[in-house]
Amino acid sequence: MPKLEAGKRARLPDSSFAYVDSKGIRRLPINDAAHVKNALARFNQVAFETDVAREKARKRLLNAAKKFGIVPVGFITGQLRSERQIGQRQSLDGTNLPSGYLTLMMTDIEGSTSLVHRLGEEYGDLLDEVRTLVRESVVRYQGHEVDSRADEFFAVFVDTAGAVRAASGIQDELKIRTWPLGLSVRVRIGIHHGRPTRRGNGYIGVAVHTTARLCAVARGGQIVTSAEVREAIKGSGVRFRSLGYISLPGLPEARSLYQVKSLA
């Protein structure tokens, strides 16, 4: 199907799209029968920010299919399969997230607003690729995905060295990827070792906030850790560079922070 021309796309109202994310990026055009069929085929390729957003988009898409007399048999079957898989992942990961002292890792795409302006609707594809890359590295080192929304990703690890190796793997892979328009895609990563409190299918507590602050102070391509991480894997062969004492917003005292330099 021919791609929707930029001018025509811009003139369409938001109601002509199944999904409009929190940054105003509009995806899955449903303005005519051909685009509805295309949206049905591409629905599972979209990285929705929340399950609520996904369900809302699904209902809008099904209503559009009904309007144009399209019977989405394959789509419904695929959604049932997808929902079963999501349920299985939640039973494995959501209800069995580890407790106690853990290593927390957060990632965030640097300069995402600029990337959105450069890529427009194609930013969604880039986000999907980055999120998949991060997820694969987390799984490879036995981490547990806690949450992923917009440009951010949150995971926990029982093994601190595994968390650092997962983060290093993410940065190494990003360096060799080729991106649209020759763009440079850089991710900042923060890692902390502490004892978060389990709440539902996630975590709360100072350890979570500390990890978020570490991610926020990192630059793209950088892995910033707390002193607790360095202490937890002392003797593992991981080399760190001291960043000195840095005040983190919302935390009472400056903290000794480190950058991961290399792995043994």
Distance, in Å, from the CA atom of 43 to the CA atom of 220, rounded to the nearest integer, reads 30
Q: Assess whether 30 and 148 both reside in one domain.
A: no
Q: Assess whether 213 and 168 both reside in one domain.
A: yes
Residue of 186, 191, 177 whose CA lies nearest to 143: 191
pLDDT at 247 over 50: yes
**Phi, psi angles (nearest 5°) of residue 57:** -65, -40
Domain count, the chain: 2
pLDDT at 86 over 50: no
Measured from the Cβ of residue 179, the count of other Cβ atoms closer than 10 Å reads 14
User: Could you tell me if residue 192 is inside a domain?
Assistant: yes
Q: Assess whether 131 and 231 both reside in one domain.
A: yes
Q: Assess whether 174 and 62 both reside in one domain.
A: no
User: Could you tell me if residue 71 is inside a domain?
Assistant: yes
Residue ending a domain, among 56, 91, 126, is 91
Distance, in Å, from the CA atom of 170 to the CA atom of 166, rounded to the nearest integer, reads 6
CATH number at residue 121: 3.30.70.1230
**Phi, psi angles (nearest 5°) of residue 197:** -100, 125
Question: Cα 7 from chain centroid?
Answer: 30
Q: Assess whether 30 and 143 both reside in one domain.
A: no
Query: pTM for the complete prediction?
Result: 0.66
Q: Do the beta carbons of residue 62 and residue 72 sit within 8 Å?
A: yes
Q: Assess whether 188 and 105 both reside in one domain.
A: yes
Higher pLDDT: 70 or 14? It is: 14
Distance, in Å, from the CA atom of 240 to the CA atom of 118, rounded to the nearest integer, reads 35
pLDDT of residue 203: 93
Q: Assess whether 143 and 253 both reside in one domain.
A: yes
Higher pLDDT: 45 or 163? It is: 163
Confidence of residue 3 (pLDDT cuts 50, 70, 90): low
Confidence of residue 93 (pLDDT cuts 50, 70, 90): very low
Which residue segment(s) compose the domain that 249 sits in?
98-262
Q: Do the beta carbons of residue 48 and residue 58 sit within 8 Å?
A: no
Q: Assess whether 43 and 118 both reside in one domain.
A: no
| CB-facing half-sphere around the CA of 23: CA atoms within 13 A | 17
Q: Assess whether 147 and 75 both reside in one domain.
A: no
pLDDT of residue 221: 94
Residue ending a domain, among 45, 68, 91, is 91
Question: Cα 227 from chain centroid?
Answer: 25
Residue ending a domain, among 91, 110, 138, is 91
Q: Assess whether 82 and 105 both reside in one domain.
A: no
Q: What is the mean pLDDT of residues 249-259?
A: 89
pLDDT of residue 71: 67
Q: Which pLDDT tens digit goes with each residue over 192-222? A: 999 999 988 899 999 999 999 999 999 999 9
Confidence of residue 243 (pLDDT cuts 50, 70, 90): very high
